[in-house]
Structure formats: C-alpha cells, structure tokens
Amino acid sequence: MCGIIGYVGEETALPIVATGLKNLEYRGYDSAGVALQDGHLDVYKEAGEIDDLVLPESSPATCGIGHTRWSTHGEPTDLNAHPHTDCSGEVAVVHNGIIDNYEEVRAGLEERGHRFESETDTEVVPHLVEEKLEGKGLREAVTAAVEQLEGSFAVVVVTADHEGIVAARRDNPLVVGTGEDGNFLASDVTAFLAHTRQVTYPEDGDVIEVTGDGVTVYNDGEVVQRPTETVEWEAEAAEKGGFTHYMLKEIHEQPSALRQTLSGRIDALHGEAALDISLPTEYLNSLQEVQIVAAGTSYHAGLYAAELLERHADVRTTTHVASEYEFRGGRDPWRTLVVAVSQSGETADTLDAIRKAGRAGAKTLAVTNTVGSTVTRETDDTLYIRAGPEIGVAATKTFASQVATLALLAVYVGRERGTLPSETASELLGSLRGLPGAVQQILDAETGVRETAREYADGDAFFFIGRRLGFPVALEGALKLKEISYDHAEGFAAGELKHGPLALVTPETPVLAVLTEGADPRETLNNVKEVESRGAPVVGLTSRADARRFLDVAVDVPDLGVMEPLVANVWLQLFAYHVANEKGRNIDKPRNLAKSVTVK
C-alpha cells in the first residue's frame, strides 16, 4: 500500500512530483522518496512524513518519479524507502504492491553479483531491469523483467539515459494522465488532478511507455488502445477549506454528500428506487442469497444493508469479511448475487473475494465511490455511491453514502421481487430523503458532542452496544474511535454483553448505546441498566423521550425510522473525532493505517 507519481514533459518535474506525493500522502506515509532524471539520476529518500523529506530547492529535470511508502516488507527506514536503484545507480524504480517470489529472484540476482541495500521486495526490480537492459530498450527490459515476477504490483521505472518513464501494472492500481504540458502516471488520480483530467486506466499485464510527447500502452508486446476518460472531481475539492482536519470536513460534508447519493434515485410517488443497474427481474426473483463482501467500515455498511435486504427484499443476505470469503457451502452460483462494497474500489481483499465469486459463476455487483476503479472492471455491474473524494483515513461520509446506496438497492430488489409493498417503499424512501436534514441536525449540535467527548475522553475503554441496525453502528462507532484516538473500543450486540463482555465493564468504561428506531431500543435499555448497575456511565442515542431518564447523556436523534441508526452514527463519528482531538492525535493520519489497503 503505497502511492506512486511520475511525470515527464516540458515543466520542471520536481514541484509536480512533490505536490503529487503530498496529495497521495493518505495512501501511506512512513517514508517517501523522489528520483529526478536529467541526463543522470538524483535520488532523494527518507523515512518519515512527506513534509520532512529534504528535497533540493529546484532542479532543471523535466522527468521524475516519486513514492510514499507504507511498509509491508522491511521496516520504514531511509534505505527501505523508494525509489530503489540498481548497482550502477542508473535505474530507479518505485513500486506498489507485493512481489511474492522476490526472495528467489533476489537469490538469483545475488549469485550473479548484484549487491542489495534494502530489505524490500522492490529492490529486485531495478536489478532485473539492469540485466535486461543489455542490448534492449527500456520498455523491452521492463517487459522482460516483470515476466519474472509473481505477485501484484504497479512498477514505474526511469533510467539515467532513456527518455521518459516505463510502467507495468498487474493487479494494482495505476492511472495514466495526459496533459498539455506533459504526461503523468500515478496510483490515484488525485496525484495529478490539478494538471489534467484526461485519464486512461491501463489493464492487468499492460506495459506503459510515457514520454513528453505521448503515452503508448503495450500488452503482450502489441500496442493496444485504452479508452481515455474525463475525471469530474475537482482537485481542490480534496483540500481542507478552513477545517482543521479532512475528517472533520468530511463529517460536515455528509448532508451534501447524501443529497448527491440520493439525487435522481428516489421516485417516492411510485415507491420506486431508480437505479441504473441491469439486474433482470427474473434473475432477482430467482435469487436465493445476496452475499456482501467488504472490509472495515464498508463491512459495517454491508451489515446494515443485510438487515434491510432481509427485512424488505425478503432475500437471505449474508455479509462477509472479504479476507475470509470463500464461495462454498452448497450455494447455487446462478442464484447468488455477490455485492462488493469498497470506497476506493481497490481494496485487495475485496477484489480477491469478488474474483472468487466470479470464478464460481455468481453475478457480481460493485458498490463504490471511485469511477474507473478496479472493482468496477471486475464486476458485472456497478452502483456508485457518489460521495465525492474522501481523504481522511477514517471513512465517514462514504459510510453514510454506502448505507444510503445499499438501502436504495434493498428497495429496488424488494420492489422487483414483489416483496415490498409500494406503501412501505414510499415510507423507506421518505426516510432516505430525510437523511440530509437529520444529519444536519446532529452536526448543528456539535458543541454538545465536544463536551461529552471531553468529559469521557479519559475512559479506560469504550463499549458500543446496539441491536439490529444499531449493531453495525456500534461496531462502526468503536472502529472510528480506535482508528483515530487509539483508545480501546469494542462494539457488541447488546444482548451479547451478559455472555461475557460485561466482565469488562467498570465505572471507568463509558458505554455508548444506540437506542433508536430500527435498533430494538426497548430491549437494549435492559442492557443499559445492566451496565449502569456496574457503575459505567452511559451515553444513549435515542429518538424516544422515555429512554432519557436511564442515561447519563441523552442524545436526541430525529425521527427517521430505519435510518435513525445511520444518523446516530454521525454523532459517534463526531465523538471519535473530538476524543482524538482532545488527546492531540494525528487524526488524518492515524498511526499504522492507510486509506485504501491494496495489499492482502
């Protein structure tokens, strides 16, 4: 999991590469480096944050590559930072992904006299390229080198005396940008959006030659054409605009993000969800199961959706942690729809799961935020959540938009299957339509969240409880808190407390309870009493006036039916944010974490 940027053209490469790295910082940040080509190669790399990387004031080079690293093989040290070079220092490589057979390749190279400096898998690439360069052009050398590699990767190569950059892609994100004053390569469009919006997505096995004049894509030695698309996101939309952290900005963007998500998709008059997907009615009628595969926050969105699908579409739905997924258990692939939920569309675990499902013959659907991402190419159909770019490592607005999109899917499937009466559908759609306003109400009461966070920030541990739709929200609330405040936080199904976790509850462990509609609040109130008798302070999120007297802090959630837990979640996001802020944590860049995890 790393970020790559490359530029070649008429401008000086250094500022373009440096800002590109800055924009990619969210993908990993334990070390960073840059290589500039100007008749010779200059390499600058260091462990630490990108801001700390010492670069020259200026450089005449018009071709360069850069990398931000998130360690998989080898600790974050100066030596392990990319770019890596060959013995002569004339070939520089940055790489994203994992080379599975690097030990074997490295042993071979060492036997042939190559000297290695780092512990990384990446370093085999420049040495291989060095060998293959004898009597060949750079593109042929890179092609030959990657043929010897196993695993998933995107590599970008420059040398001291070949013009331009050559890259290769296998199971790892890589995007090419074509601009007026030069051309770009990156692991994510945000790296170069300020310069161009014309992008091409290479496919697996492609080798890409980028010069100042143009981009040529080869596959199996033949020139191939890949379509050029125009990206609509504003590069600047990804800047903080007066907020202290991207996370806070993105929490506050939720009303407008939700309006975008829902725009044009609600037909309340007829009780229909207007979704641009092609799943035939006969197929949906024959469905025996919907499987949702996802990781992290997306997994929690999947759990929320499963409850809605079973309730309203009357179809068995299971949610799977992507890395644990297998297609088996006597399922009929023709009657199983597998839905991959991934913000970035590049999550390796999720891609792996969806490939397993596809191989088994099941129909697949992607639910993602990222146009042109790998998951959209590897599934039969795609439903975009339209939340806009999310930079904060802790997912916030995309969770809300994922759940809203999946709720629309539940209405769609329920109506197609004839299991959801139009009246109930209208009510559900009405609740969805009310989401932006209800979320805004929680945001307007932020001062109260800050006070509560301040009061309880020193808790030994935090427990989040909920039932039904409140359960995924409890899990998500706990995940946000642990991600950014590093506090011990756990989400439990409220009924499970008494079967074990209750032993952990003390007067120093605040309990946060989801007591909204859609979350069986009456039953959960009994669990609230259980923890209160152990002296734990309880923060309750509720739309019921009668629950207040049992709570130390009662948070009002607007009436919104089955969408209430999703609204309550916004309060929990703010709670996590303010606890972390109180503790001075690095909120946008929590330790050990990266935005989209493209390694298994």
| Contact between 22 and 235 (Cβ < 8 Å) | no
Give Cβ neighbours of residue 116 (< 8 Å, ≥ 6 apart): 106, 109, 110, 123, 127
Give Cβ neighbours of residue 185 (< 8 Å, ≥ 6 apart): 4, 5, 6, 7, 65, 156, 165, 167, 174, 175, 176, 177, 208, 210
Closest separation between CB of residue 239 and another protein, Å?
Answer: 5
**Please, is 438 exposed, middle or buried when counting C-beta atoms within 10 Å of its C-beta (0-12, 13-18, 19+)?**
buried
Active-site residue, selected from the candidate residues 2, 249, 397, 482: 2
Q: Which helix (H) or strand (E) holds 549?
A: none
With respect to another protein, which residue has the nearer C-beta, 253 or 564?
253
With respect to another protein, which residue has the nearer C-beta, 435 or 469?
435
CA–CA separation, 432 and 267 (whole Å): 11
With respect to another protein, which residue has the nearer C-beta, 155 or 541?
541
Closest separation between CB of residue 444 and another protein, Å?
Answer: 4
Closest separation between CB of residue 261 and another protein, Å?
Answer: 11
129: number of Cβ within 10 Å: 25
In the annotation, is 595 catalytic? yes
Give Cβ neighbours of residue 158 (< 8 Å, ≥ 6 apart): 6, 35, 37, 41, 63, 64, 65, 91, 92, 164, 165
CA–CA separation, 284 and 530 (whole Å): 43
With respect to another protein, which residue has the nearer C-beta, 262 or 489?
262
Radius of gyration of the chain (CA): 25
Active-site residue, selected from the candidate residues 397, 482, 589, 595: 595
Closest separation between CB of residue 330 and another protein, Å?
Answer: 44
Residue type, 415: R
Both tokens assigned to 417: 């299957």
Closest separation between CB of residue 236 and another protein, Å?
Answer: 4
Half-sphere exposure of 488 (CA within 13 A, CB side): 8
Does the N-terminal peptide bond of residue 83 adopt cis geometry, omega within 30 degrees of 0?
Answer: yes
Closest separation between CB of residue 120 and another protein, Å?
Answer: 37
With respect to another protein, which residue has the nearer C-beta, 73 or 433?
433
* Matching residue, tokens 């030596």: 79
With respect to another protein, which residue has the nearer C-beta, 275 or 502?
275
With respect to another protein, which residue has the nearer C-beta, 264 or 535?
264
In the annotation, is 87 catalytic? no
Closest separation between CB of residue 395 and another protein, Å?
Answer: 18
Q: Which residues bind another protein (CB under 8 A)?
A: 234-237, 239-243, 249, 252-253, 256, 259, 262-264, 266, 268-269, 433-434, 436-438, 440-441, 443-444, 446, 558
Give the helix ranges, DSSP H, for 181-332: 246-252, 254-262, 281-286, 297-312
Positions annotated as catalytic residues are 2, 595
